[in-house]
Structure 1
Amino acid sequence: MRAGLKDRHLSMIAIGGVIGAGLFVGSGSGIAAAGPGILVSYALVGTMVVFVMRMLGEMAAANPSSGSFSAYADRALGRWAGFSIGWLYWFFWVVVLAVEATAGAQILEGWVPAVPQWGWALIVMIVLTATNLGSVESYGEFEFWFAGIKVVAIAAFILLGGLAVFGVLPGADNDAVGLSNLTAHGGFLPNGPGKILTGMLMVVFSFMGSEIVTLAAAESADPERAVTKATNSVIWRIAVFYLGSILIVVALLPWNDPAITKDGSYVAALNVIGIPHAGQIMNVIVLTAVLSCLNSGLYTASRMAFSLGQRGDAPRAFARTSKRGVPQVAILCSVLFGFVAVFFNYKFPDTIFLLLLNASGAIALFVWLVICFSQLRMRRIILSESTEPLRVRMWLYPYLTWATVAVIVFVLGYMLTDTTNGGGRDQVIVSVLVALGVIGIAVARELLQGNEEEPDGP
């Protein structure tokens, strides 16, 4: 672990971290459910993420750590909390590795069918594993270019779409000019205001990954400045890349256009604009987003495992580093479990792998809850240990923190109303059971360690 990430790496990791493959792939179903009101869903979830990132930024700027919120939970809430959320987060990203590797393999198989899908998944995982094993600079460089392509693609989409909406782009569909599509097909909330909540459930997990920059900052030359910069810029990043691009989609197309769900919202919008080969262009962008997520997922899982190893909550081997400062054992163990998850995805997609997906489904919300509760106590701990003012401060502390907790709990509760197979209820129930199991292990470890440390009686 060393300061190998440059400012440009961290800047692009921060920007690209909020642009996941879910934005490109999953937004269509949200638009179909909520209509133009999906903008409100994105705004509400985006606001929640801004608050969570502000809390995390406050702690990370004062005490940068490769374990990020897991290390802060350890100090603020107890060893059991740091242990539990650290392992749950690691598990989340290991499952994500399998999901993203499969998604990338599907695209690559379409281009080169001679290589089977499992072969492409294996190739992608091996290449990115080698990248992460090389040095943190290798990870940063790959992520710089992956994220750069995503950022340029979204910026170009917003620019071209905006020109089409204002009627100054040659070749665009005339029906796309103006903002009438926002209200012309049943109103702004065609399926009722309740669908805003449904939309929130569909988009909330596409924001996962914003917190990666606080882990990566620990391997930069000036962690405090990097975290401060990333935290302060999260508002415009979410506003531009999420709200801006989704606004373009629902302005260009009627929300109930079948192409939104059939072809994907961004492909459908590009077709309206008149961009040739829109499907293939979007496949390239989605593949880039997938590779970026894989690269960051492996990095994040390995750094969390490294931090757990340092604190004695994982095998000590996880905390060993190579001469280049890379936690190779943590990387190899993380990718090994990623390969196992990929195997389950191909062999038992509707049983074991579905169980893994459900078990990790609500972990993002658990992580955000832990960040909230940790910040409530860490503020007092930080101020008691230092006379320096906080470089990043959560607004309206502690009221906004408690309000964010209430919103997250509400979302978890609302997920229980989704009774579809593999839907919100399944995800919450299975994720809670897994979390309780991990917490049980953590508490048992503390009790055993406490008994071992007690002095013998007379």
Structure 2
Amino acid sequence: MAQQPATNGTDHMKRSLRNRHVQMIAIGGTIGTGLFLGSGTTIHRTGPSIILVYAVLGIFMFLMMRALGEMLYEDPNQHTFVAFISKYVGEGAGFFAGWSYWLGLIFLAMAELTAIGRYIQYWFPTWNASLIQLVFLIILTATNLIAARVFGETEFWFAMIKIVAILALIFTGIIMVATGFKTPSGHIASFGNIVDHFQLFPNGAWQFLGAFPMVFFAFQGIEFVSITIGETANPRQVLPKAINQTIYRILIFYIGAIIIIMSINPWREINPLQSPFVQVFALAGLKGAAGIINFVVLTSAASALNSAIFSAGRHLYQIGREGHSKEDSRVTEISSSGVPARAIFSSSVIMLLAPALAMIPQIKDAFEFITSSSSDLYILVYALAMVAHYRYRHSPDYMADGFKMPGFPVTNIITIIFFVFIFFTLFINADARVPAAGAIIWTIVFGTFSYRKFRKADAAKDDL
């Protein structure tokens, strides 16, 4: 077994994150508005079979994380999984994936900033949304610039709030089921509500398939754990625990919460326009349920923004380290606190477009289109990461006694096929067709540019 890396990496970034930080960052980066707000829509569309969708996606996301984990275990000094795409697929593919993923994180952060403004206005409708967003961006950027451990502590408590809310829902639901709670519509809370008049495709097979991309985006962000490994004190010790424990905790939180929701309120009674969490707590007689859930969703958005700032800074730093232009070196500076300060600050400055966009009412639809388009690209980046893992297994770097992906090569190949399947299911939902088409155009145009830019370098590498 290879020896543990030193406390500080070769790039002088401080390894100050602990296992509890990494665990919460991974959980917090994944559990968000997709569960608290979006789950009502997915349940309404597919009924109890949504549990199957979450389970299938959870399995494939776990396989992807095991692939990323295997490469990171062999080389924990890498700060993003995109670095492995450059290393094993080619500089062109890495250049494309790096910038695509970084832009996706920027747009994700901008979307979360917009959401934060709206959540705060729930209590203070007269407050200026742009000013709210600016304040949150400054505060969370500052926490990222101070030290990785400060970011870790902040994210730890953000994630804790979400987890407590989910556990409260599950605990409340179990009590309601145990006491035979009756809803205003006359239904008795029971686990039997899930299988009562069960249909696998209650609204048709297309609606069932159309739920896959919606749930996929709910899981999006699980890869954040791979970005934190480079700044943990004992990366090879933390990594296996972080990946193996995170996935089943997320499945418990997601599937457990959805089972409770459908047990209390039959799925046909769930209002897709309202958070199912609000509906359950309101039925339980909790006063101000909407306000409480608004607070939880606010922390979810802040958590996602916090993770996006952290991840975007590390990705821009990684792009700079690869040195594709003279300007790249400007974002590779490490501050005295051991963080890529310029890369974080530069990413946050671009995120300032969100407050500016919030001042233009007409930009709402265009902004959501851009956000959706960038999110679609994550599927392509994930697929490229799996290709990188396949090539890693056939490279001299392969660590036979490392943290290996189970079932290779079959699991690797079917995961790539699954990501292709997810991308094509995007076209089932009318609202996602234009963004998906935009992702294809981006891939063709920027992908061609990236290929041509590094064609000679990649050819020379293949000849070695």
Fold equivalence (TM over 0.5): yes
When the two chains are superposed, the root-mean-square deviation of aligned CA atoms in Å is 2.5
Aligned letter for 2:306? N
Structure 2 CA distance for aligned equivalents of residues 261 and 450 of structure 1: 49
Q: Is 1:325 matched with 2:333? A: no
21-30 or 284-293, which deviates more: 21-30
Instruction: From 417, 436, 441, give the equivalent of 2:444.
Output: 436
> Which is worse superposed, 322-331 or 183-192?
183-192
What TM-score, normalized to structure 1?
Answer: 0.91
* Unaligned stretches of 5+ residues in structure 1: 452-458
- CA drift at 1:185: 5.7
User: How far apart, CA to CA, are the structure 2 residues paired with 1:125 and 1:428?
Assistant: 29
Matches within 5 A, 1:237-276: 237-257=249-269, 260-276=271-287
Which range moves more in the overlay, 262-271 or 342-351?
Answer: 342-351
Instruction: Name the residue aligned to 1:44.
Output: 56
Do 2:21 and 2:156's aligned partners in 1 also have CA atoms closer than 8 Å? yes
Deviations 1:73-126 (A, max 9, x none): 111101111111111111111001111111111111121234211221111111
Question: Is residue 84–residue 439 contact of structure 1 (8 Å, CA) maintained in 2?
Answer: yes
- How does 1:63-78 map onto structure 2 within 5 Å? 63-78=75-90
1:364 aligns to what? 378
1:8 aligns with 2:17: no
Indicate conservation of the 8 Å contact 1:180/1:251, yes or no. Answer: yes
Q: Which residue of 1 aligns with 2:160?
A: 148
- Deviations along 1:372-402, one digit per CA (max 9) or x if unpaired, are 1111111222xx3466601x22121111111
Q: 1:385 to 1:40 in 2, by over 3 A?
A: closer
Q: Does 1:427 align with 2:430?
A: no
Partner of 2:303: 292
Corresponding residue number in structure 1 for 2:150:
138
Structure 2: runs of 5+ lacking an equivalent: 1-12, 460-464
2:133 corresponding residue in structure 1:
121
**In structure 2, do the counterparts of structure 1 residues 387 and 432 end up closer, same or farther at CA, with 3 Å as the change threshold?**
closer
Residues 47/388 of structure 1: CA separation in 2 closer, same or farther (3 Å cut): closer
Output the CA distance in 2 between the equivalents of 1:263 and 1:355: 23
Query: Deviations along 1:312-338, whole A, 9 cap, x unmatched?
Result: 146111111111112121112111221
Deviations 1:261-305 (A, max 9, x none): 232111112222332221111111111111100000010000000
Contact 1:358 1:431 (C-alpha < 8 Å) held by counterparts: no
- Among 380, 402, 425, the alignment partner of 2:394 is 380
Q: Is the 1:42–1:203 contact (alpha carbons within 8 Å) kept by the matching residues of 2?
A: yes
Q: Where does 1:440-451 land on structure 2 (aligned, <5 Å)?
A: 440-447=448-455
Q: Which residue does the alignment assign to 1:455?
A: none
Q: 1:164 aligns with which of 167, 176, 180?
A: 176
Give the equivalent residue in structure 1 for 2:7: none
Native 8 Å contact 1:13 1:147 kept in 2: yes
Contact 2:24 2:155 in 1 (8 A): yes
CA distance in 1, matches of 2:183, 2:267: 21
Q: Match of 2:213?
A: 201
Cα distance between partner residues in 1 of 2:206 and 2:372: 24
The question of whether the paired residues in 2 share the 8 Å contact of 1:65 and 1:215 is answered with no
Structure 2 distance, partners of 1:121, 1:55, is 36
CA distance in 2, matches of 1:173, 1:325: 58
Matched to 1:360, the amino acid is: S
Q: Partners in 2 of 1:269 and 1:355 — Cα distance?
A: 32
Deviations 1:410-458 (A, max 9, x none): 121222233x2xx22212210122233332332333258799xxxxxxx
Aligned-pair CA distance for 1:33: 0.8
CA distance in 1, matches of 2:384, 2:228: 19
Residue identity in the other structure for 1:287: L
Cα separation, 2, equivalents of 1:326 and 1:350: 34
How many residues in Structure 1 have an aligned counterpart in Structure 2?
Answer: 446
The Cα offsets for residues 142-196 of structure 1, whole Å up to 9 and x where unpaired, read as 0111111111221221122122223278999973421232233664542234432
Q: What secondary structure does 1:210 align onto?
A: coil
Amino acid at match of 1:344: L
* Paired residues of 2:33 and 2:300 also in contact (CA < 8 A): yes
Alpha-carbon separation, structure 2, partners of 1:446 and 1:319:
22
Residues 1:284 and 1:355: Cα distance change in structure 2 (over 3 Å): closer
| Partners of 2:200 and 2:178 in 1: CA distance | 20
SS of aligned partner of 1:260:
coil
Residue equivalent to 2:314: 303
Q: Distance in 1 between matches of 2:197 and 2:83?
A: 49
Task: Give the AA of the match of 2:351.
Answer: G
The alignment status of 1:99 with 2:111, answered yes or no, reads yes
Q: Secondary structure at the match of 2:127?
A: coil
Secondary structure at the aligned position of 1:349 is classed as: helix
Give me the whole-angstrom Cα distance separating, in 1, the residues matched to 2:398 and 2:447.
31
**Separation of aligned partners in 1, 2:457 and 2:61:** 37
TM-score (norm 2): 0.90
2: CA distance between counterparts of 1:197 and 1:388? 38
Residue 225 of structure 2 corresponds to 213
Offset at residue 345 of structure 1 (A): 4.9
Sequence identity, in percent?
30
- From 9, 20, 36, the equivalent of 2:32 is 20
